[in-house]
Chain A
């Protein structure tokens, strides 16, 4: 430390630092200032972000055993190495839930991104009427909380309440089953697509607006029509936005929770481990097994990380 301690604690210097008893050198103050300025952020970041992650990882390596009927003969916690991870990976339902989400993502994410891109291009095309109104309308589902959206949609899915099923029965004599074992995943995909297409569209629109108008003018001078402009100018230039929305969607897919959790009450096909997050939630809060739940959470984070990283790697390589 470069501080110089002062021998007289009751200094008469009018610096207002009388009680401190030390006068740090200027250099030390300069060195320390940034840390002091970022400390409110750092402390919150450590306590609410880093610490919980560290604790979760720690918990995932711990196991608690109880003796007797209810643990009245003693409870011990010990370091378990990878025992919790072994149990989680041996749990077929949990592994199934990850595969289920991958299937969901492979279908739903491209559908949503293509739809969002199409909407954005249409709204930003020269011939669009009232783009502001439509932009707000498409974005509106995102303003509805996922929980409310799911309740709304569930009324369109439940037989006996759903006008869609009634109309289909009356017109075609066919009764669609939106909540069966084979279909409910796509009913959830429908809700997610409905909610997030507008949001992703907005990100793409923002990127489209950033394209300098000279490029459009140059394209027009070169004789490019709207189709050619979209394919050769707009799509290549909104690439960063497309990569961003896709990565967010991949992460979002693995974190799917509210929709299946709520649809559970109307669809017997959704079990307590339907999605990875639902699985971790059930393990932690219905079974009180925080250690296994921590292992599940760490695995979910790892899978999301690997997938996002792989996607970024892939897009980086192909752009070169």
Chain B
């Protein structure tokens, strides 16, 4: 038999490598991990190391508490960029390459996007149901799709009305409890040189929050496909309301909450209030010289719908290529629902609102020095977290819909309306769904 020369070997290696590269070019994410057999739990005594990619800071300190108690299941945390700033890109490429961590921080609204690339493990197959009672039911429904559960809720943010009592007093108007009242007092706030709020034209998650609060459900997953009701009456009412507010110069659109311009305006007493999520409390403290000036009230109500909405929120999701999904899920449940886990996540990582049903975190129960001694968490946000739209769900192209809507909202500056943008965004969302082959139809009665 003829021997193979080194050069030929090299040649074969290169050809093989090139073939492998080309084979790897088929569009990834086309097989489902949830159709494969369940991965059994690790045998007792077996050492398991879990990896968790998240953008929360100092999360390793939280994992260390677990690690000290569970010598067989060690968790290593790696920091990634937040969500669409680079973290998801990294996760998607790791998944496409057949790797990735056991756990990853994935926002509620991004869960369906990861499902679209078959990136997540259905935790019901690993017994998440027994823990359901420990989680907030609204957030639970935001991770439940098509009969499965695809992430462990990690944090969220019920909305409230942050406001400056001194500016309201100067304007001689009460802090509004309804949106109608909000629109009535806003001109008086303008008269003292401030805005009642900033309306972000490009970050539509805030607008989605308002629509959610008004009782809208933009998309629903049903057995025979998606049902869209984005341009329904509830949402159009909200759009008309803010169209008028912007036209009457009641809100500023030139700067978004928690951006440099907004901080500067807030420091100069030009922002009197802000409807924002509970995690805004930490951001608000970056406003220079604001200590003791702000208070929190319940969000204004629409004449239908709910008392509050959830803005933001993330999960710890078990990724498709995890070798130990059961252990990963158990760690995630411990981290998000045990008292020590929640307290450590608040202390080290500064998480938003805890998704646990009956514990908000020890440090959040007392009065807050920054808010002038107000017990704002138990007074405002705890009731707000119970008064939520339970039907809201996210969809596989949430980010794209938000961008389309944001691009439409920007035309407000050049004569467009929010109403037109909502109607157009609904149609474009339908188009993108169909282009991907997904079934979608408009809600009945429209």
> Which residues 81-117 in B have Cβ within 8 Å of A in the complex?
84, 88-89, 92, 112-113, 115-117
Residue from A71, A87, A159 with most neighbouring chain B CB atoms (10 Å): A71
Shortest distance from the beta carbon of A284 to any chain B beta carbon, whole Å: 9
Contacts of B115 in A (CB 8 A): 70
Option from B3, B116, B255 in Cβ contact (under 8 Å) with A288: B116
A58 to B23, CA, bound (A): 13
Q: Which residue of B lies closest to A181 (CB)?
A: B413
A62 to B30, CA, bound (A): 14
In the complex the two chains form, is B14's CB within 8 Å of A43's CB? yes
Interface locus among B38-46, B167-175, B393-401: B393-401
In the complex the two chains form, is A66's CB within 8 Å of B5's CB? no
A64 to B25, CA, bound (A): 13
A107 to B399, CA, bound (A): 34
Shortest distance from the beta carbon of B421 to any chain A beta carbon, whole Å: 12
Contacts of B18 in A (CB 8 A): 47, 51
Q: A20-B6, A62-B27, A158-B260 are in contact. Are A70 and B403 (CB under 8 A)?
A: no
Contacts of B253 in A (CB 8 A): 268
Shortest distance from the beta carbon of B210 to any chain A beta carbon, whole Å: 17
In the complex the two chains form, is B254's CB within 8 Å of A268's CB? yes
Q: A43-B14, A266-B261 are in contact. Are A181 and B414 (CB under 8 A)?
A: yes
Option from A59, A159, A288 in Cβ contact (under 8 Å) with B117: A288
Q: Does A67 belong to the interface (CB within 8 Å)?
A: yes
Q: Which residue of B lies closest to A182 (CB)?
A: B414
A59 to B5, CA, bound (A): 37
Interface magnitude class on chain B: 35 or more
Q: Does A138 belong to the interface (CB within 8 Å)?
A: no
Interface locus among A196-204, A207-215, A269-277, A298-306: A269-277
Q: Which residue of A lies closest to B7 (CB)?
A: A20
Q: Does B244 belong to the interface (CB within 8 Å)?
A: no
Q: Does A160 belong to the interface (CB within 8 Å)?
A: yes
Shortest distance from the beta carbon of B424 to any chain A beta carbon, whole Å: 11
Option from B25, B200, B260, B397 in Cβ contact (under 8 Å) with A155: B260
A160 to B117, CA, bound (A): 43
In the complex the two chains form, is B146's CB within 8 Å of A69's CB? yes
In the complex the two chains form, is A77's CB within 8 Å of B407's CB? no
Q: Does B68 belong to the interface (CB within 8 Å)?
A: no
Q: What is the count of residue pairs linking A and B with beta-carbon distances less than 8 angstroms? A: 138
In the complex the two chains form, is A290's CB within 8 Å of B413's CB? no
In the complex the two chains form, is A72's CB within 8 Å of B92's CB? no
In the complex the two chains form, is B400's CB within 8 Å of A286's CB? yes
A269 to B221, CA, bound (A): 33
Q: Does A143 belong to the interface (CB within 8 Å)?
A: no
> Which residues 233-251 in B have Cβ within 8 Å of A in the complex?
none
A196 to B410, CA, bound (A): 30
Q: Does B437 belong to the interface (CB within 8 Å)?
A: yes
In the complex the two chains form, is A58's CB within 8 Å of B5's CB? no
In the complex the two chains form, is A160's CB within 8 Å of B265's CB? yes
Q: Which residue of B lies closest to A161 (CB)?
A: B264
Contacts of A68 in B (CB 8 A): 146, 438-439
Task: Give chain A's interface residues, CB within 8 Å of chain B.
Answer: 9, 19-22, 43, 47, 51, 55, 58-59, 62, 64-72, 75-77, 87, 93, 154-155, 158-161, 177, 179-181, 264-266, 268-269, 271-273, 282, 285-288, 290-291
Task: Give chain B's interface residues, CB within 8 Å of chain A.
Answer: 2-3, 5-6, 14, 18, 21-22, 25-27, 29-30, 32, 34, 84, 88-89, 92, 112-113, 115-118, 145-146, 200-202, 221, 225-226, 253-256, 259-261, 264-265, 267-268, 396-397, 399-400, 403, 406-407, 410, 413-414, 435-439
Q: A70-B112, A75-B29, A159-B254 given. 13 additional CB < 8 A pairs?
A: A47-B21, A51-B18, A64-B27, A64-B436, A69-B221, A69-B439, A77-B30, A158-B260, A160-B264, A180-B254, A266-B259, A269-B410, A287-B399
Interchain Cβ contacts under 8 Å between A and B, 5 examples: A9-B3, A271-B403, A271-B410, A272-B403, A287-B399
4 nearest A-B residue pairs (beta carbon): A160-B264, A65-B437, A75-B30, A70-B115
